[in-house]
Amino acid sequence: MAVWALGINHTTAPLDLRARFAFAMDQIEPTLHALRGALTRQPEAALISTCNRTEIYCACEQPQLQHTLDWLAHSGGVSPELLRAHSYTLQDGPAARHAFRVASGLDSMVLGEPQILGQIKDAVRAAEAAGSLGSTLSQLFQRSFAVAKEVRTSTEIGAHSISMAAAAVRLAGQLFEDLGQVKVLFVGAGEMIDLCATHFAAKNPKAWPLPTAPWRVVKNWPANLAPR
């Protein structure tokens, strides 16, 4: 059984290109159905999509890397040549090792950040719901979860790891002398922007402009900091 992975991330592709291949959780199941329908023999498939990466993992008797890349390029409205220039392809052992690194936070923009593991678990559940996760990929991801746990328990990688949201607040604290005197504008509509708002709330920023879209209530946001 051949296993292959195709992906783009913060080290290989610019933001505007990554945005073309960002999939919300409710898009995962139909996207996997479309992918499997476009490839021969309906391979096992899983799709991981976060703010900094999109990766497709497949398993079948014969690898179909080129067809997978062609399909993904078409879905994002770009040429296969452009996608190939900003993507990485891995097969068999290297694909498995990459999955282990991603699950362990070793391939993240913030080294050791813990959120990626939960995002991969969500992707696996979505693949299971879509009926696209067979025994090969299931074993691959279960092993990656075990490796991630072992890495965190046997090394110091998790001792000082922080999320992207926490890293943003830390960087802002270095750029501005007093966050309590800063007005903050949040641009986005997902889990990450909620986390950023929650982390910034702890610093009691002065205010933030009223967003054009309806403001979503953020858990634990101070009552005295109403949007204005």
Residue with tokens 């995002």: 119
Choose the catalytic residue: 51, 58, 60, 196: 51
For the range 35-41, what are the long-range contacts, defined as Cβ-Cβ under 8 Å and sequence gap of 24 or more? Answer: 35/68, 35/71, 35/72, 36/132, 38/67, 38/71, 39/64, 39/67, 39/68, 39/71, 40/64, 40/67
* Region of 194 on the Ramachandran plot (φ > 0 left; ψ -120 to 50 alpha; else beta): alpha
Q: Which residue is associated with the tokens 């559940």?
A: 125
Active site residue 51: yes
Active site residue ranges: 51
